[in-house]
Structure 1
Amino acid sequence: MADNNENKVLNVPHLRFPEFTDEWGKYKLSDVCSFFSGGTPSSSKKEYYDGSIPFIRSGELHMNKTELFITEEGLNNSAAKMVEIGDLLLALYGATSGDIAIGQIKGAINQAILCIRTTQNKKFIESVWKKHVEKLLQTYLQGGQGNLSADIVKNISFYFANSSEQMKLAKFISLLDERIATQNKIIKDLKKLKSAIVEMLLCNRNSELLKLGDIGYFVRGLTYANEDVTENKAATAVIRANNLNYGNHVDKGEVVYVSRTPATSQILRKGDIVICMANGSSALVGKNSYYPFNDGQSTVGAFCGIYRTSHPLAKWLMQSRRYKRLVYQSLQGGNGAIANLNGDDILNMSFPVMEKEKSKSIIFILETIEKTLAVNKCLQMSCSTQKSHLLKQMFI
């Protein structure tokens, strides 16, 4: 809100284009929008699926294609409803609850999606929703409702600018979104390039094999009990599978702290490769990340391990398709057991690599790409932070 010269509180945003002075009006969404949700054709009816109608699910709001398709018969014999490109779509429940997007697909929606149609500017509504979504989810999901519903959404009130100001705000936010999308594409393309160059290291099938056990060693993670977990951030930080992602550095955003002291060999060092060694999902076993820190305070949990080497090729080889194939071949467990690797599985892996001088050149290129990736990730984060700040300042 802002004050005028008479110190009267006005219903206007803190930051505003100078040509607009009107107060914003407060309306329930039901006053300016219409709503409907969909349904799911019976999965027991094969004739309802593999048709030509895209079937949009809540995790696909931002996509221009769908995984599933339904038939006209499936549409006509279920509560599924058709939406158009440009409709405003809101995820009501599930992992993406509260997510909103302007649809890119003409297709059918299920019961987890609410279609919102309006004569107001859709980008404006999308933006004001994103400003308030965290508070809305805290109120209705964590507040005991369990999920959003059409009735809840209809009764939510927002402040609306006049149509001209809505349009200008929408264009401005769209420019920010385009900048973020461009940055995301740059990052995606750099990752693809890096992956392709990693495979070049392994293109010499007639070369000698480089065995991981000959250039490094393996350290198993720290075992701890629930009572060892502490809020003390000066304690030992434990890296787990959720901190790992192929092709990225270890993410220390969400770590557990424990009061146990690891063995000297278990303390992570800069250059270590942290590997998920066991998990209920076999798809996660083997994923690894490079540890870029030298804090002397961190270790890994018992379901992870450390591969320690000073060889410059190792971190790249463990991002290759061959590495993933070797992990798949080595997996133990199954029949409900936790899928797991052991240290010897890692140490026995071998890779045909290029001769030393060519490998050096490729490593230099990969390191350059990785630095460029880091810069572009920072730019992407900066753009997203800027947008978040502007949403708070330019909308009520």
Structure 2
Amino acid sequence: MASNNNKDKCNVPHLRFPEFSEEWEICKVSELLDFYSTNSLSWEQLEYGTKAMMNLHYGLIHVGLPTMVDLTRDNLPNIKEDNMPKNFELCKEGDVAFADASEDTNEVAKPIEFFDLAGKNIVCGLHTIHGRDNKNKTVIGFKGYAFSSSAFHNQIRRIAQGTKIYSISTKNFSECFIGIPSKVEQTKIATLLRLIDERIATQNKIIEDLKKLKSAIIEKEYTHKTKSNSHIGDFIEQTSKRNKNRAIQNVLSVSNRQGFIQQSEQFENRSVASDDTSSYKIVKKNNFAFNPARINVGSIARLTTFDRGIVSPMYICFRTKDTLFPEYLDYYFETKQFFTEIQKRLEGSVRQCLSFEGLCNIPLCIPTIEVQQQVGKQLSTLVQEIKLEIDFLELLQRQKKFLLHQMFI
């Protein structure tokens, strides 16, 4: 890779392969792509199976598909036989499709390009724009990344219309501009970014497999210990010490995904804490807290990231007794058994809650403290490995984002 140091050439990216120096062609999208009609089939008119016709729904572009779609690997829903559209254009390898609407301006016109159709028939559906390079200006694989670049998407932000839902029309979209280098340079750019995408896909699979392993170990460890005369209440005690002198300013919340986090982080850099935190409850390291009204979605956690903090008076806080290793109980809260037991004990009609007494009544049989520590150590090691793999995934995603910003105009 080399930076662009040639001040006389404007139509070149900031970063490119060193063997290329010529300027890129700048053309309107309408000069590159021909557009085809799409259908408006809803999810109710689609199904997964082995039918003859596949359908690309814009929701899949937003949440399910990579930039380069390979139907030997990526799965799409089929159109139910009685909903088959009458007029449609089958997608071809190298065709691009864009989601024309989103709640996020960063996601409007998010593209995919068909890399390998695997001999399958597919049409573009609801809220998509279907384009094809009939002029043969691009190689297969380049367009998906070019339309994902920062340079192109900056134009989309300016033309996206709406308040809660942002959208673009094919007409406005076709008036945007795109930069196109030689086909040799296109191929090198597309190959590099596709290799990064493949590594990202592999990394996602590594993380998914490690999470499955963690879940399997947890279920194996705890399932055979569900029938017992002992209960969680035998091994925990409630804590209700208040922040009376307001000495602790670290206001925390319990997230169903991240556990304990600072309240400003959960509520997008704003605090919803009361100005008077003297009634807030103090939580120390390895203590637990849960939101009675949200425990059914997983809002229960052990404090590990801070030595201490305070939580809203609505939270129920507790700690384990000497006979129960905190990590051992922590992983029990991830079991299917615990979720099932919670459902049995929820109280209330409009907002269902779990009381401390309800938590205490959940059956739990524990092994010796030595075995508890061994299980906790094994799972904590696995959790740390998952975190490292997630951190590496984020680095790959940042690398791709950087290249999409620097390698296109």
Shorter-normalised TM range? 0.7 to 0.9
- Matched residue, 2:71: none
d(CA) in 2 for partners of 1:3 and 1:151?
A: 36
By how many angstroms is 1:143 displaced? 7.0
Q: How far is the alpha carbon of 1:204 from its aligned partner?
A: 2.5
Aligned match for 1:92, one of 97, 100, 112? 100
- Write out aligned runs for 1:68-107 (5 A): 69-76=78-85, 82-84=90-92, 87-95=95-103, 97-103=108-114, 106-107=121-122
AA aligned opposite 1:20: F
Tell me the equivalent position of 1:327.
342
In the alignment, structure 1 residue 311 sits paired with structure 2 residue 326? yes
1:23 equivalent in alignment to 2:23:
yes
Q: Does structure 2 conserve the Cα–Cα contact (< 8 Å) formed by 1:25 and 1:161?
A: yes
TM-score of the two chains, using structure 1 as the length reference = 0.78
| Higher mean displacement: 182-191 or 125-134 | 125-134
Q: Secondary structure at the match of 1:21?
A: coil
Superimposed CA distance per residue, residues 105-154 of structure 1 (whole angstroms, 9 cap, x where no aligned partner): 74343221222322423533222332226634542347768312222221
Farther off after superposition, 175-184 or 323-332: 323-332
Matched residue SS, 2:391: helix
- Aligned match for 1:65, one of 54, 70, 75: 75
Write the letter of the residue equivalent to 1:277. Answer: P
CA RMSD of aligned residues (A): 3.6
What is the deviation of 1:178?
1.5
The Cα of 1:54 is off from its aligned counterpart by 3.6
Structure 1 unaligned blocks of 5 or more: 223-233
AA at the equivalent of 2:340: R
| Match 1:131 to one of 149, 155, 169 | 149
**Structure-1 separation of matches of 2:282 and 2:147:** 45
- In the TM superposition, what is the alpha-carbon distance from 1:216 to its structure 2 partner? 2.7
Q: Deviations over 1:331-390 (max 9, x none)?
A: 3455xx334333333232223445544443322210110111111111111111122122
The 1:90–1:374 alpha-carbon spacing in structure 2 relative to 1, beyond 3 Å, is: same
Which residue number in structure 1 is paired with residue 253 of structure 2? 239
TM-score, normalised on structure 2? 0.76
TM-fit CA distance, 1:86:
5.4
**In the alignment, structure 1 residue 121 sits paired with structure 2 residue 136:** no
Identify which of 385, 390, 393 aligns with 1:380. 393
Q: How many residues align?
A: 368
How far, CA to CA, are the matches of 2:292 and 2:226 in structure 1? 30
Shift of 1:200: 1.7
Q: Which residue pairs with 2:34 in the alignment? A: 34
Conserved? CA contact 1:90–1:115, under 8 Å: yes
One-letter code of the match for 1:65? N
Distance 1:36 1:381 in 2: 36
Question: Please, which of 111, 117, 127 is the counterpart of residue 126 of structure 2?
Answer: 111
Instruction: Give the match for residue 390 of structure 1.
Output: 403
**1:236 touches 1:261 (CA, 8 Å); kept in 2?**
no
Kept in 2, the 8 Å contact 1:2–1:11? The answer is no
- CA separation of 1:264/1:271 partners in 2, compared to 1, >3 Å: closer, same or farther? farther
Write the distance in 1 (CA, Å) between the matches of 2:94 and 2:365: 51
Give the distance between the partners of 1:175 and 1:244, measured in 2 at CA.
34
Aligned to 1:181: 201
Change (3 A) 1:116 1:191: same
Whether the aligned pair in 2 keeps the contact of 1:187 and 1:376 (CA below 8 Å) is yes
Which residue number corresponds to residue 347 of structure 1? 360
Q: Is the 8 A contact 2:260 2:301 kept in 1?
A: yes
**Alpha-carbon offset, residue 50 of structure 1:** 7.9
Partner SS state of residue 360, structure 1: helix
The answer to whether residue 260 in structure 2 is matched with residue 260 in structure 1 is no
| % identical aligned pairs | 22
Classify 1:70/1:362 alpha carbon distance in 2 versus 1 (closer, same or farther; 3 Å).
Answer: same
Shift of 1:157: 0.8
Write out aligned runs for 1:147-296 (5 A).
147-205=167-225, 208=228, 211-217=231-237, 237-239=251-253, 243-245=255-257, 248-250=258-260, 253-255=265-267, 256-257=270-271, 258-263=273-278, 266-278=281-293, 285-294=297-306, 296=308
The SS at the match of 1:102 is: strand
Sort the Cα spacing of 1:32 and 1:201 in 2 relative to 1 into closer, same or farther, 3 A: same
Decide which moves more: 304-313 or 25-34: 304-313
Q: 1:42 to 1:358 in 2, by over 3 A?
A: closer
8 Å CA contact 1:216–1:307 kept in 2: the answer is: yes
- SS of the residue corresponding to residue 277 of structure 1 reads coil
Deviation at 1:175, TM superposition (A): 1.3
Native 8 Å contact 2:214 2:382 kept in 1: yes
Cα distance in structure 2, aligned partners of 1:365 and 1:340: 33
Deviates more, 1:151-160 or 1:104-113: 104-113
CA deviation map 1:183-206 (0-9, x unaligned): 111111110000000112213247
Q: Is the 8 A contact 2:100 2:169 kept in 1?
A: yes
Q: Distance in 2 between matches of 1:213 and 1:269?
A: 19
Counterparts of 2:56 and 2:213 in 1: how far apart (Å)? 31
In 1, Cα distance between the equivalents of 2:307 and 2:157?
A: 36
User: Contact between 1:27 and 1:157, CA under 8 Å: does it hold in 2?
Assistant: yes
Kindly indicate whether the alpha-carbon contact (under 8 Å) linking 2:347 and 2:354 is maintained by their aligned counterparts in 1: yes
Contact 1:23–1:161 (CA under 8 A) maintained in structure 2: yes
